[in-house]
Amino acid sequence: MAHTRKRIKYRWKSPDGYIHLSTDVGEIIGEHRHVWECAHGPIPDGYQIHHRDGDRTNNKLANLQALLPGDHKRAHCGHWTDPDGRWWKRCTTCHRPTLETEFPTKRYRADGIRLTRGNCKTCERDRQRAKSGWKGGTHPKFGRHYGPSAAGTTSRAHTLGR
C-alpha cells in the first residue's frame, strides 16, 4: 500500500486557504488530499479534490469529491452531483434545481463551461412561446419583454386560433 502510516507533525492554514500537513517523513500535503486518500487510496492521475461546500478548510470526507478538471470547473459554475453521480444545476429563470439532462440543449466548451442558455425545458418552452407572440396575458417570467399587445392591435394568437 502506498499509504503506510505517516505521522502528522504540523497542521496549518496556508495563505491560499488550504490546510496543509507536514509528516514525519518530511513531506507537505494538502489535508483535503490526505483525507481523501486515507479513505479511497491514492488520487487517480489527473483528478482534483473539490470541496463541495466551497470551504477549503472543511476537509470532512463527505465534503470532498475527486473530479476531473472539466467537471471541477462545472462544480465551480454552480453545478453539483447527487449520490448517483448525476449532475444538477439551477434553472437561471425559475431557479429550480434541475437535472442537467432536463435542460433542452447541452453544449459545453472543452473545459466544461456551458455555452447554452440556462433555462430548463419548461422555461425554454415558455420563452419560445413568448417570443413567437404568446398573448395569454402578462407572462409571469417573460412578460416584461413579451407582454400582451396594446389594445386594438390584432392578436396573432387570436387570428391563428379561429
For Zn ion, the binding residue among 120, 130, 139, 146 (CB under 5 A) is 120
Q: How near is the Cβ of 9 to Zn ion at its closest, in Å? A: 27
Stretch that binds Zn ion, among 1-9, 36-44, 118-126, 151-159 (CB under 5 A): 118-126
Q: Between residues 123 and 130, which has the closer beta carbon with respect to Zn ion?
A: 123
Q: Which residue has the cell 496549518?
A: 12
Nearest to 88 by CA among 79, 77, 75, 96: 79
By the rule CB under 5 A, 50 interacts with Zn ion: yes
Stretch that binds Zn ion, among 2-10, 21-29, 39-47, 123-131 (CB under 5 A): 123-131
Q: What is the C-alpha to C-alpha distance for residues 84 and 93, in angstroms, rounded to an integer?
A: 26
Element holding 47 (H helix, E strand): none
For Zn ion, the binding residue among 19, 21, 64, 91 (CB under 5 A) is 91
Stretch that binds Zn ion, among 58-66, 90-98, 101-109, 141-149 (CB under 5 A): 90-98
Q: Please give the C-alpha separations between residue 122 and each of 31, 81, 93, 107, in angstroms, as whole numbers.
A: 43, 21, 10, 18
Size of the site for Zn ion (CB under 5 A): 6
In 37-91 the beta strands, taken as DSSP E runs, fall at 48-51, 64-67, 80-81, 87-90
| Site residues, Zn ion (CB under 5 A) | 50, 91, 93-94, 120, 123
